[in-house]
Amino acid sequence: MIVSPTFELESSLAAPVAGIDEAGRGPWAGPVVAAAVILDRDNIPPGLRDSKTLTEKRREMIAKDIYACAIVGVGVASVDEIDEINILQATFLAMARAEVSLSIQPKTCIVDGSQKPQLKAPTQMIVKGDAKSLSIAAASIIAKTTRDQMMRDLALEHPHYAWEKNKGYGAPAHREGLEAFGVTPHHRKSFAPIHNMLCADS
């Protein structure tokens, strides 16, 4: 059974409240992307819920609805930044960039997860927040759809890894591409599978 998120948490906090979530912590290639969303409680897109419970087509449709009626900020941390400061710190960096890219400064940020980023506004961590909070669910959809499009664009430049399908995760087609064509500048060299491949080739 799919649990529908609500606006209950946001209603108890100092407004405006920004929900923040990320996409792309686990893949072997591509950036990590975070989104911050401030919803209008009187104009919430129908069908809004955790991005992982939606089809790709449905996510894209709801993302357009979110942009039409909410305040949205997006932050990205590059592969180079992931390799330099590690994926957790790069995720925090993307979240901070998403917050400051909002057109208004939130009074409160609610963030999916248990590890707290350094943000400008007072911040609450919400475990499984994308299933509990409509604002975090909206952020999860924006982060996911934004990153998916970035990976589709990168797949046009590097067609041998099937990034348009696997989005940079270690799927069989991605592994086969690495074995046949090697590591690209978009691979995370600090991640063990890529690091081990580079060490084996050196």
- From first CA to last CA, the distance across the chain in angstroms is 50
Residue 10 counted as an annotated binding residue: no
Q: Is residue 21 a known part of a binding site?
A: yes
Average pLDDT over residues 197-202: 79
Q: Kindly give the interhelix angle for 134-157 and 56-69, rounded to the nearest 10 degrees.
A: 120
Q: Which CATH number fits domain 8-149: 3.20.20.150, 3.50.50.60, 3.20.19.10, 3.30.420.10?
A: 3.30.420.10
Report DSSP state, residue 126.
E
User: Does the N-terminal peptide bond of residue 16 adopt cis geometry, omega within 30 degrees of 0?
Assistant: yes
Per-residue pLDDT of 175-188, as tens digits, reads: 999 999 999 999 99
Closest by CA to 111, choosing from 89, 94, 87, 127, is 127
Residue 97 tokens, joined: 């960039």
Biggest CA-to-CA distance, the chain:
58
pLDDT in tens, 53-103: 899 999 999 999 999 999 999 999 999 999 999 999 999 999 999 999 999
